[in-house]
Amino acid sequence: MIIHLQVFCYALNFNAEHYNLNMSTKKRFAIKIEYDGTNFMGWQAQPNQRTVQSEIETALEKISGKLTRIVGSGRTDSGVHAIAQVAHFDTEIDLSPNKMRLALNSLIDRDIVVIKCVEVKDDFHAQHDTKSKTYEYRILNRCSESALRQLRAWHIRSNLNIKLMREASSYLVGKNDFTSFCRKKSLTPCNVRTLVSLNIEENFDEIILRITADGFLRHMVRNIVGTLVEVGRGERCPDNLPVLIESRDRRLAGPTAPSHGLFLVDVDYGKDIFE
């Protein structure tokens, strides 16, 4: 415990007397996390793999001296980024939320940053309390590649017809069975989800698809994007989407868009737990 205390105090550049390491009172913290998914094998901890969850848990173990599990709002795949992932964990270390944030950021690599940390009620659950999530997918739509965005957007040279893509996307909004857009080997017993909104916007040379739903299946966003890109290229008619949804056949949908264009941008709990 003394060794962990020394490491912790050194990382925060404070003296030990500033800390009351009361190990008798359990606290639950919620953290908002930003990360670059390029060098991670996704969110979920896996043996002998670098993941976001395992990196944060390793830092927490250095702080508390024991294994501390964290629960995320959901998984993100290898290469997927996050602007506002949310997770919770329990600890008996008596630290303020801000000092916990500073401690974590001092012990994790720079491709993960804990943006906010708050103490929450002990019945808060980062995954089960989620009302909806929002993802953004970014497409770089121009002839030349980008030195700065090659790991932040899917580069497509051919001009995409956004009007047709928007027309096709309208069929996806609402409560639907999204079997045609989930990973073939998905173990989810029910593939019905409510897609709240799907907006497609142009921002200079980028096309940004912003999708909000009450839940997402594995690869659902990326498969939707791959299908809408086919529409934008003129390879699929917009009115094919109802037929595709009804078919519940992944083989009939478009390709899975690359993971590096995808960002988790918001997790909604019905209120701002970080205010």
Active site positions, annotated: 77
Helix (H, G, I), strand (E, B) or coil at 221: helix
- Which contacts (CB < 8 Å, 24+ apart) does range 209-212 have? 209/136, 209/137, 209/139, 209/169, 210/134, 210/135, 210/136, 210/265, 211/134, 211/135, 211/136, 211/137, 212/132, 212/133, 212/134, 212/266
- Nearest of 210, 209, 211, 214 to residue 175 by alpha carbon: 214
Strands (E), 98-240: 112-120, 132-141, 154-156, 174-177, 192-203, 206-213
Residues 149, 154, 160, 161, CA torsion sign: negative
